Amino acid sequence: MANRDAVSRILPKVVVGGGEVKKKNGLADGRNRRALGDIGNLITGPAVGAKPQTKVSRPITRRSAAQFIAKGQEPVQKNTKKPLVEATKGVAGRKVGVPAKAETIAVICPDEDVKITEEISLNERKVKKSGKTLTSILTARSKAACGLTNKPRIQIDDIDAADVNNHLAAVEYVEDLYKFYKLSEDENRPRDYMDSQPEVSARVRAVLVDWLIEVHKRFELRPESLYLTVNIIDRFLSEERVPRRELQLVCVSSMLIASKYEEIWAPEVEEFLTITVNAYARDQILLMEKAILGKLEWYLTVPTQYVFLVHYIKAAVPSDQEMENMTFFLAELGLMNYTTAISYCPSKLAASAVYAACITLHKSPRWTDTLKHHTGYSEDQLMECAKQLVSFHSGAAESKLKAVYMKFCCPDRGSVALFPAALQEMLI
Tell me if the bond preceding 318 is cis, omega within 30° of 0: yes
pLDDT tens-place string over residues 315-328 = 887 768 999 999 99
**Could you read off the pLDDT of 242-253 as tens digits, one per residue?**
999 999 999 999
d(CA 193, CA 74): 106
DSSP run (H or E) holding 70: helix 62-71
Return the closest-CA partner of residue 404 out of 350, 325, 309. Answer: 325
pLDDT, position 149: 53
What local confidence, expressed as pLDDT, does residue 164 receive?
A: 78
Which residues lie across from 91 on neighbouring strands? Answer: 88
* Predicted model pTM: 0.64
The answer to whether 403 and 211 have CB atoms below 8 angstroms apart is yes
CA distance 392 to 388: 6
CA distance 34 to 64: 9
Which regions in the chain score pLDDT beneath 70? 1-132, 143-144, 146-154, 158, 319, 425-428
Which of these, 275, 357, 372, 345, lies nearest to 321 by C-alpha position?
Answer: 357
> Domains along the chain?
2-130 (no CATH), 194-295 (1.10.472.10), 305-427 (1.10.472.10)
Bridge partners of 92, per DSSP, are 87
Contacts of 31 (CB under 8 A, 6+ apart): 25
**Can you tell me whether residue 396 is helix, strand or coil?**
coil
